[in-house]
Amino acid sequence: MTTGGQGWTSGLFRDQELAGQFSDAAMFAGFARFEQALINALAEAGLVEAEDAGRLVSQIAGFEPDHQAIAEAVVRDGLPVPDYVRQLRAHVSGPGSSMLHHGATSQDLIDTATVEALARTSDILAARLDALLALIADRQSSDGGHRLQAITRMQAALPFEASARLSAWMHPLEDLRERLTELTQRSRVLQFGGAVGDLQALGDKAPIIAQSLAKQLDLSWPGHSWHSARGPVMAHANWVSELSGALGKIGQDLALMALRGGEDIALSGGGSSSAMPHKQNPVTAELLVTLARYNATQISGMHQAQIHEMERSGAAWMLEWMILPNMCETAGAGLTAACGLFQSIERIGEPS
Amino acid sequence: MTTGGQGWTSGLFRDQELAGQFSDAAMFAGFARFEQALINALAEAGLVEAEDAGRLVSQIAGFEPDHQAIAEAVVRDGLPVPDYVRQLRAHVSGPGSSMLHHGATSQDLIDTATVEALARTSDILAARLDALLALIADRQSSDGGHRLQAITRMQAALPFEASARLSAWMHPLEDLRERLTELTQRSRVLQFGGAVGDLQALGDKAPIIAQSLAKQLDLSWPGHSWHSARGPVMAHANWVSELSGALGKIGQDLALMALRGGEDIALSGGGSSSAMPHKQNPVTAELLVTLARYNATQISGMHQAQIHEMERSGAAWMLEWMILPNMCETAGAGLTAACGLFQSIERIGEPS
Amino acid sequence: MTTGGQGWTSGLFRDQELAGQFSDAAMFAGFARFEQALINALAEAGLVEAEDAGRLVSQIAGFEPDHQAIAEAVVRDGLPVPDYVRQLRAHVSGPGSSMLHHGATSQDLIDTATVEALARTSDILAARLDALLALIADRQSSDGGHRLQAITRMQAALPFEASARLSAWMHPLEDLRERLTELTQRSRVLQFGGAVGDLQALGDKAPIIAQSLAKQLDLSWPGHSWHSARGPVMAHANWVSELSGALGKIGQDLALMALRGGEDIALSGGGSSSAMPHKQNPVTAELLVTLARYNATQISGMHQAQIHEMERSGAAWMLEWMILPNMCETAGAGLTAACGLFQSIERIGEPS
Amino acid sequence: MTTGGQGWTSGLFRDQELAGQFSDAAMFAGFARFEQALINALAEAGLVEAEDAGRLVSQIAGFEPDHQAIAEAVVRDGLPVPDYVRQLRAHVSGPGSSMLHHGATSQDLIDTATVEALARTSDILAARLDALLALIADRQSSDGGHRLQAITRMQAALPFEASARLSAWMHPLEDLRERLTELTQRSRVLQFGGAVGDLQALGDKAPIIAQSLAKQLDLSWPGHSWHSARGPVMAHANWVSELSGALGKIGQDLALMALRGGEDIALSGGGSSSAMPHKQNPVTAELLVTLARYNATQISGMHQAQIHEMERSGAAWMLEWMILPNMCETAGAGLTAACGLFQSIERIGEPS
């Protein structure tokens, strides 16, 4: 019952690999890539000399931000970029240094680094989803022809084949897998707007610089910033909650099957009870339901966070930071749990 | 503060045109189309004689369900189809009558009628969204070059052109408009699974019948039912809440601009105050925020409703019924309000 | 799947008796009581002649507001009071008429009428809760000694007495019943603040007038307005959602017991299936889960609505109007459904 | 944008002091107190010899659980108690050892330790709330007579005294402070039910043992377990979200006042911008809004978690673990932020 990724609940709710995509180290690396690409782009636009740009890019590559100092500055600034840029300015030197961060604003760095983190997150989730689909397909191969009792509205309905239930689990996961590829492509969008979103400090060089920046970072450039229009992050939030929901439905079914007994399922493992040593609780099946209901709760906050005030809302934006990485971790923890759960299934239904 | 679509709050929160898409009349008409198409499909599959099918389709066309009897049966059955079908069976006659509803289940009728209602809803929302985009474009043409104060994090940032803020409002609406076409195509999916989702009663005729049904209803057939996988309804729910969010952001901005005063905006109309006759409240701008926060609340319930138990969950499914039509109405009311609000704008920013 | 209290879903989700407490008629009657009490209070404070007050009170008693005109004005004003007061001013005549509504504002009328509606709602819910508790107690008397299988974490745990499960259902309902009395007393609070919440138009007469108003309306007066501090409405919202949750837990259990079969429960009635005539679905048990998850969704919106801007936020306040009456209806529908469900229980557990 | 209590967002969203109340160390200490009290209670009931009890209590006092082993076991068991008890059993020795944990179950330990953590949380929040109220009262003393513009529905309404707005902030905080004392008393409730909630393993000794346990732990004993009735945790969840809401309202106001400028407020400090060095963003005011909307999101999950299945639901219970400690931290972070914010206020309104 601790928060913060440590403690006994970590093994249930956290996902270190996904948390790592949003860590300070990962985000600050994204900031560095942005600042490097920006210097190169400014050079392409003729605002920085090419050789200065090369030197600055090298200097940025060697920059090690002081995490602790940033963490302290965040309490005052509400975000890490001002202090990050202050440190970076102190680190670089030579001609062109004053052009560091030129035309950009904090939100450009944070949102772009977030888009990159979400893309990495999607890659991780995609691989796990493939693994889970393979496990379900294996079960389909072995037990698809088994006899199972179909249940509708909490009543025994008709007997059917186990393959029907297994397919009902697979189809939404397959759809989500297919949509993920598309979603990730669509949402790999550069954030770049400068102080108030219109890139005014860059004048008519803005389009060239933006395009160069996007190209270097392997992102698309929609022709405008999206500071107060949160489409790319919303797309990921909706998707991860739908994934958790699809896993939660499987967990709910497996918990009900465990309740109905050996006719429905044989599971190995299962949780111990401190009071009843004879029990084997379908803990992981329950966990999938928990994680689904958690993300179904969080999604509301993401939709609330769409209501930015004017050109930038700290209130709405910080709400995303509180919620979205946790949603990704929750989805990731769910996939890991679901894979483990399928590995512990010994049989579904009964041979007919 | 009444519920139920009547009373003084209706003018703020309800949308009669959209409510109409989910009315008994509209849904029961969907049921009739389904039963007609099913009879034809059964005929194609050789399970009903062609002439009998023709006669039954005509008989169904003349069927007027007793709404009151259905409403009463719903309290017992939890859904309207059993009594609807009972009445319909009593209405039709002649050879082939016993094949009415053959192979289908309540959920096939309700979900398919819902998909159709959502498609009609999308058409209505698309038209209103086009109208709103045209109004914003008009304002863009007239006032785009005006000078406005950009505001970030609740502080005056820099002056910029009104066009920048207007564009920031338009871009997400344009994206939503584009996505709507795609979403509607994707989610026009026949629901057809029979008692437990596997169309077992139809044996190897199932694919022919499902394809015929889909073709007649102008829907796609994914090759399987989606009784417990709610992708198509989730896609609509997410979309309408994102639309409400984009409108809420505009409302929030316009309310803040009204607070800042004539430098930012000149509005005609505005709400009266019972205590301060001098005030003109930006009521409609506030309403857009309310509607956005309402849908951002509801979306959580839709994500919770993904967790179906086994082959059909009454609990989860009914939750959709409580929430989704209201979300559509809320989005529709928002578009109407936003159009009215843009018509009441006399000027944004100041000529430079 | 209609919205608005009519249509086939009404029998599941709506509650006419509770809806009636928030109807135009009920709310406008509250406005009239407020205006009458205010005139009397102004007379006590010496701002209106006693005989004029008497006449005005009589005139108000005979006032029939034009609901349709108010509904139309609401679209412009965002609330019904300005037009209601305009109509009322046109209705009254004679000396003192100009003092009608003196010192008050729209929010005073709406919030006070809402507090009264919530008090009536609580009385209705209290009576139904008593009835439900009596039904569970009856079942306790008849079947408490029966043998039942305790289930923990979706696994058979140990056998126990049915009385243990019945008690686990009753205790939270008894707690809620006890808290309701206290909650209703605490939240019977006059709203009175005038234009900006400080009763400035009444000068040092404000306390006398407020106290008189409260006394006449049988409400308490906390010494200040609570325009932007929503404690009384929040208390009701939390309570009704907790009630729905307690009923949802019972519904969940009964649905699971129905799944486990006759060893656990014998139910009469139950819903028909259009595809499987042999089934008797525990529709009402599922409905209790739906209603609980609905209110658990809505409660988030009420908590969001706490964030009023400055002295009055239309955005936050309207969100309450969209949500709170529906939450009350949902709780009411749940109690009615739960009573019906207990009446349909023939046996819980098995005689030992 | 990291999760887990470390990283740059910690300074905004986390609260180490409150997190500490739910840490492994704190929770396991609660388990130890429970097991000690239980041994004493069993001795009072004559089930353990007094001298054995004394020795076991001493042995438990010296027990250092292996946190890592517990964390690993949690993945299998879904909770830490089975492995904790296994380790503890291995640690103690001598007559009576077999009575360790006798009659208790995991939930008794976890829920009781949680109740204790919530009570400590309340004490911390109470002290901070007192400090905040003192700061607001100071501002009331210095600036209460200043002139300020009242704002209703995002429009300048009338001038009023700053004291009116300050009072509108204080009243709900004072109410919450008063309710906290009562809430904490009410919710200091022992959880004790044994395997399936009815204490059946203790027979007619159960009441004596439960009362002794409660007395030793300074908790009340309601006469029954509340395994599946979550009243005590719900009371805290509702309260902390109401607190966050009251603080969010203040933050929203202060952000709007900062937007309106020096006529409304003079703030020292404020956040830097990476693009606009002239700005001083009201970061902490925005943060209060973020934290309020976060808790208003989370509260929905707590209400969903009321729907336990049968005698114990892992799915619902784990959802509490994911949400409630974070809600407490969020409320705590809000109080700390609000105190800092009030210390940075130099003036509210203008001397008249």
Q: Is residue B66 part of a domain?
A: yes
The answer as to whether A330 is a domain residue is yes
Residues of chain C with pLDDT under 70: 1-6
Residue A143 in contact with residue A162, Cβ under 8 Å?
Answer: yes
* A232 and A115 Cβ atoms separated by less than 8 Å: yes
Inter-chain residue contact B294 with C77, CB threshold 8 Å? no
Asked if residue B3 belongs to a domain, the reply is no
What is residue D5's predicted lDDT score, i.e. its pLDDT?
A: 41
Asked if B220 and B92 sit in the same domain, the reply is yes
Does C274 touch chain A if contact means CB atoms closer than 8 Å?
no
What are A172-205's pLDDT values in tens digits?
999 999 999 999 989 999 999 999 999 999 999 9
Task: Report if residue A5 sits inside a domain.
Answer: no
Task: Say whether residue B151 is in contact with chain D using an 8 A CB cutoff.
Answer: yes
Give the residue from A292, C135, A4 showing the smallest Cα distance to D4: A4
Determine the distance in angstroms separating the CA of B294 from the nearest CA of chain D, rounded to an integer: 12
Closest residue by Cα to residue B139 from B282, B303, B285, B349:
B349
- The separation between CA D75 and the C-alpha centre of its own chain, rounded to angstroms, equals 25
User: In 3D, which of A12, C251, A102 has the Cα closest to residue D315?
Assistant: A12
CATH number at residue A316: 1.20.200.10
Residue B84 included in any domain: yes
The answer to whether residues B96 and B56 touch, using CB atoms and an 8 Å cutoff, is yes
pTM above 0.95, yes or no: yes
Interface test with D, best of B155, B287, B313, B319 (most D CBs within 10 A): B155
Give the pLDDT score at A281: 86
pLDDT along chain A (352 residues), means of 10: 63 96 97 98 98 98 96 94 98 98 98 98 98 98 98 95 98 97 93 97 97 98 97 97 98 97 90 72 96 98 98 97 98 98 96 90
Read off the pLDDT of residues B90-138 as tens digits, 9 standing for 90 and up. 999 999 999 999 999 999 999 999 999 999 999 999 999 999 999 999 9
**Chain C interface disruption, residue of A12, A149, A154, most C CBs within 10 A:** A154
Residue B5 in domain: no
User: Min CA distance, B338 vs chain D (Å)?
Assistant: 17
Cβ atoms of residues B197 and B183 within 8 Å: no
Which residues on D lie below 8 Å from C167 (Cβ)?
Answer: 224
Domain span holding position D128: 11-348
Distances (CA, A) of D193 to D42, D103, D202: 15, 8, 10
Residues B258 and B348 in one domain: yes
Please judge whether B154 and D300 are an interchain contact, meaning their C-beta atoms are less than 8 angstroms apart. Answer: no
Structural contact between residues C297 and B299, judged by C-beta atoms closer than 8 angstroms? no
For the stretch D59-68, pLDDT in tens is 999 999 999 9
Does C281 contact A at CB distance below 8 Å?
yes
Closest chain C CA to residue A251: C154
Mean local confidence (pLDDT), D261-270: 90
A19 touches chain D (CB under 8 A): yes
Q: How many domains is chain C built from? A: 1
- Both B323 and B266 in one domain: the answer is yes
Q: Give dist(CA A352, CA A164) in Å, integer.
A: 15
Spatial CB neighbours of A104, under 8 Å, sequence gap ≥ 6: A34, A35, A38, A192, A194, D274, D275
Nearest to C256 among D165, D306, D310 (CB): D310
Which letter, b or e, does each residue of C301-340 get, where b requires 16 or more Cβ atoms within 10 Å of its Cβ?
bbbbbbbbbbbbbbbbbbbbbbbbbbbbbbbbbbbbbbbe
**In this complex, which of B152, B153, B259 lies closest to D154 when CB atoms are compared?**
B259
Closest among C239, C20, C292, A297 to B322, alpha carbons compared: C292
* pLDDT value of residue A5: 41
Rg (C-alpha) for chain B, rounded Å, is: 24
Nearest to B39 by CA among B51, B26, B22, B23: B51
**Torsion angle of the four alpha carbons D314, D315, D317, D320, in this order, in degrees rounded to the nearest 10:** 150
Tell whether B94 and B153 lie within a shared domain: no
Residue A96 inside a domain? The answer is yes
Q: Judge whether A254 lies within some domain.
A: yes
ipTM above 0.90, yes or no: yes
* Model pLDDT for residues B223-242, shown as the tens digit of each residue: 999 999 999 999 999 999 99
Over residues B188-224, the pLDDT tens digits come to 999 999 999 999 999 999 999 999 999 999 999 999 9
Please indicate, yes or no, whether residues B162 and B25 belong to a single structural domain of this protein.
Answer: no
The Cα-based distances of C15 to B19, B72, C21, C245, C331 in angstroms read 19, 14, 10, 18, 9
C161: left (phi over 0), alpha (psi -120 to 50) or beta: beta
pLDDT for res A6: 60
Q: Give the H or E element holding residue C59.
A: helix C50-61
Query: Which residue of chain B has the CA closest to D253?
Result: B154
**B25 and B83 together in one domain:** yes
3-state DSSP assignment of residue C262: coil
Residue pair B255/B282 in contact by the 8 Å Cβ criterion? yes
Instruction: Kindly list the residues from chain A whose CB atom is less than 8 angstroms away from the CB atom of residue D325.
Output: 1-3
Q: Name the stretches of chain B with pLDDT < 70.
A: 1-6
Condensed to tens digits (0 to 9), the pLDDT of residues D289-322 reads 999 999 999 999 999 999 999 999 999 999 999 9
Q: Chain C partners of A258 at a C-beta cutoff of 8 Å?
A: 154-155
Task: Give the residue on B whose Cα is nearest the Cα of A107.
Answer: B152
